[in-house]
Amino acid sequence: MYISNQRASLAVPSSLRLEVTTWHQLNAGDTIVLLTSDKLNPRFAGRVDDISPDSRYLWLIQSNGAGRRLFHRAEGFTTLLDSVAPRNTDADIR
């Protein structure tokens, strides 16, 4: 018997990830998790490869070895930024 617990499968510690309200806030190289309402594929995790200039499209190199995938913002993803991963900032370039 299989019992699905949606809350357990989507639980993410808030101290490790921050919700991003717009993809304008992301940079190539950021580690993110995209959450969906799709019961078969509730999440996609990986590293941002590229973002369109208008931030409507995002290329993600998936961490599960599934390759590079294109996502469209209008599909309604909840986006979580991994706050533990180092981010490339101007302060780092010295």
- Is 58 a residue whose pLDDT tops 50? yes
CATH topology of domain 14-85: SH3 type barrels. (2.30.30)
- Is 92 a residue whose pLDDT tops 90? no
- Is 14 a residue whose pLDDT tops 70? no
pTM, 2 dp = 0.69
Q: Determine contact, residues 23/10, Cβ cutoff 8 Å.
A: no
Strand-pairing partners, residue 35, are 43, 78
Residue 50, SS3? strand
Q: Exposed, middle or buried: residue 58 (CB in 10 Å: 0-12, 13-18, 19+)?
A: buried
Give the domain ranges of the chain.
Answer: 14-85
Measured CA to CA, the distance from residue 72 to residue 52 in angstroms comes to: 10
Please write the tens of the pLDDT for every residue from 70-89: 999 999 999 999 876 455 55
